[in-house]
Structure 1
Amino acid sequence: MTGTPSAHREAIRTARSVVVKIGTTALTTSTGVFDAARLAYLVEAIEGRMKAGSDVVIVSSGAIAAGIEPLRLTKRPTDLATKQAAASVGQVALINAWNTAFAAYNRTVGQVLLTAHDISMRVQHNNAQRTLDRLRALHAVAIVNENDTVATNEIRFGDNDRLSALVAQLVGADALVLLSDIDGLYDSDPRKGNARFIPEVAAEGDLDGVVAGRGSHLGTGGMASKLSSALLAADAGVPVLLAAAADAAAALRDASVGTVFAPRPERMSARRFWVRYAAESAGALNLDDGAVRAVIQQRRSLLPAGITQVSGRFHGGDVVDLRAPDGQTVARGVVAYEASELATMMGRSTRDLPVEMRRPAVHADDLVAL
């Protein structure tokens, strides 16, 4: 890439805290076998960034793929039980590979396995945050992966691209770098020819005409997953670089390769990010038109008078979806009452309620429009 780097590339180049996501294809051969030379190259590039003064957290794919050969499987498993078994064996190989590679630089690694449930529940979310912060304070390199040995189809992140975006917000990272076998964003599959490379995504219009596909047989991601995750992180205020693992040295040195995604001007608070993207919804509140306008346009708290229906079994402190009269989810928020209690309050004016029930159903500070 020639010319003066954009302000967003400069922000990634100078970021003090970086999350680096490594895709399965970046660590393995086409048959799924770990490639020690590729791993060593990636570690060298990451070490160079850390020596330059940055704090790096790694989100590493590859556990299931790493278990294929030791278990004498011929291909990536498709059933849940075999995936979990492969992950159980592969996690050992994966963390040992990272440990051995970083040992050459006298670095200690720590393994952090997460599930979607860990991120969605506020207590576990905070515990994961403290663990990662403490590992960094002790100068250990955190290697994060989804805990495939216990994750089910219902509670999975879906892929480590999304996990890396969540981790970037979790640790307050200044930048997210997604490394795989893809050298950036194209408007179509570059393997089919006539694809246009997109060096920067700074506005929604930059994605006009972009068609993103699914991933390889060894991984669960793909361009659609990377694009979604990059936009998620950027919406939270974290600049993102999407680049090829083969270009890791340049990507981590000066962000001169790949596609950069510009962040929103103001960083979203950790709590609002959790409400919008990470927390599991425990139920839903249907609103009338007036309540929708108050919540979305005026950014006001949701009062019981504007609620027309209560769905689900939730408690005070849970996250619920807020739906317009047509059923579309327009916001999410932390509800102040349990479902049965709120059902007796809906549609009633605040002045008609007992004093102890005059709090908003969802306070404006705990509400995020979608």
Structure 2
Amino acid sequence: MAEDSSRAFVRDVKRIVIKVGTAVVTRNDGRIALGRLGALCEQIKELNSQGYEIILVSSGAVGLGRQRLRYRRLVNSSFADLQKPQVELDGKACAAVGQNSLMALYDTLFNELDISSAQLLVTDSDFRDRDFRKQLSETVKSLLSLKVIPIFNENDAVSTRKAPYEDSSGIFWDNDSLAALLALELKADLLVLLSDVEGLYSGPPSDPKSKLIHTYVKEKHQGEITFGDKSRMGRGGMTAKVKAAVNAAYAGIPVVITSGCTAENILRVLQGQRIGTLVGTN
């Protein structure tokens, strides 16, 4: 596919924030989508070897932790225990267990590709501290100079934010808005938001009448779009992605929303191909 002239800016991109959603990281049953995660790491390895600086924001910890804890509870329960009403698992405990499991997988996959990765957990309140923000920038700069992949996630295990995370008055409120904030803080040249659909559609992607919007402009499109349901496992969905993307775009950072389930989509974005949805401001 030839380069789209509206995406010629990718020629000057060096630092990229990539956000991968829960629906990309996990399968429908909550287990890790190992093939997709491996393909993602391979693309990051390729970009890393080409001199790009990659910062990853990864969802999936809560869902993975919940799946693992449910399995452990099942195998350690008696038949009598299983007849009793099951208490819902604590979300913060799920986050703590899942974050450990998720990072172990990233570490293993990147090691197989001769790449080092690093974990950075943050909370909304961290960004209220100017010294924290300065130190964060310096730490990431040091990691990138060593060709290490920083992997960010909200520290849900200790975050004071309460489910169902409807309040969006904070500095960030989900991993989409965290990715947009990091793109701004760390002076990224591009933000890529990966979902389980090909981009932003005029209506629910399951509706045959819905059309993929290749360039989204808030003033033009916001009244014309009907959003579908939220993500099957994550917090937000396309509404959250568009809000985060528009915030980043107005700050001068180009954003592409595309599928993390389609092979080599990140590489195709960096080639300037007309895939997914480019979020613009005019």
Q: Normalising TM by the smaller chain, what interval?
A: 0.7 to 0.9
TM-aligned CA deviation for residue 3 of structure 1: 5.9
- Decide which moves more: 217-226 or 201-210: 201-210
Supply the AA of the counterpart residue of 1:103: N
TM-aligned CA deviation for residue 14 of structure 1: 4.1
Matched with 2:205 is 190
Gaps of 5+ in 1: 265-370
Equivalences for residues 1-20 of structure 1 within 5 A? 4-7=3-6, 9-12=7-10, 14-20=12-18
TM-aligned CA deviation for residue 162 of structure 1: 0.5
| CA distance in 1 between partners of 2:212 and 2:221 (Å) | 11
Supply the AA of the counterpart residue of 1:228: K
Contact 1:12 1:239 in 2 (8 A): no
Aligned residue-pair number: 259
Equivalences for residues 82-161 of structure 1 within 5 A? 82-153=90-161, 157-161=172-176
TM-score, normalised on structure 2? 0.84
TM-aligned CA deviation for residue 226 of structure 1: 0.5
1:220 is aligned to 2:235: yes
Q: Percent identity, aligned pairs only?
A: 34
TM-aligned CA deviation for residue 203 of structure 1: 5.9
Matched with 1:66 is 64
Q: For the aligned residues, what is the CA RMSD?
A: 2.4
Supply the AA of the counterpart residue of 1:226: K
TM-score, normalised on structure 1? 0.65
SS in 2 for 1:71: helix
1:30 is aligned to 2:45: no
TM-aligned CA deviation for residue 122 of structure 1: 2.0
Contact 1:251 1:258 in 2 (8 A): no
Contact 2:45 2:115 in 1 (8 A): no
Gaps of 5+ in 2: 74-86, 163-169
Per-residue CA deviation, residues 190-237 of structure 1 (Å, 9 max, x unaligned), is 213311221012462143411224422411120100000110110110
Supply the AA of the counterpart residue of 1:229: A
Supply the AA of the counterpart residue of 2:190: A
| CA distance in 1 between partners of 2:54 and 2:137 (Å) | 15
TM-aligned CA deviation for residue 248 of structure 1: 5.3
Structure possessing the higher relative contact order (Cα contacts under 8 Å, 6 or more residues apart): 2
Contact 2:258 2:265 in 1 (8 A): no
Per-residue CA deviation, residues 288-315 of structure 1 (Å, 9 max, x unaligned), is xxxxxxxxxxxxxxxxxxxxxxxxxxxx
Structure exhibiting the larger radius of gyration computed from Cα positions: 1
Contact 2:48 2:147 in 1 (8 A): no
TM-aligned CA deviation for residue 136 of structure 1: 1.1
- Decide which moves more: 169-178 or 124-133: 124-133
- Decide which moves more: 201-210 or 56-65: 201-210
Supply the AA of the counterpart residue of 1:5: D
SS in 1 for 2:66: coil
SS in 2 for 1:231: helix
TM-aligned CA deviation for residue 4 of structure 1: 4.9
Supply the AA of the counterpart residue of 1:97: L
TM-aligned CA deviation for residue 13 of structure 1: 5.2
Contact 1:111 1:142 in 2 (8 A): yes
TM-aligned CA deviation for residue 170 of structure 1: 1.3
Decide which structure has greater strand share.
1
Specify whether residues 185 and 13 from structure 1 end up closer, same or farther in structure 2 by C-alpha distance, changes over 3 A only: farther
Supply the AA of the counterpart residue of 2:32: F
Specify whether residues 29 and 93 from structure 1 end up closer, same or farther in structure 2 by C-alpha distance, changes over 3 A only: same
Alignment partner for residue 248 of structure 2, among 233, 238, 263?
Answer: 233
SS in 1 for 2:161: coil
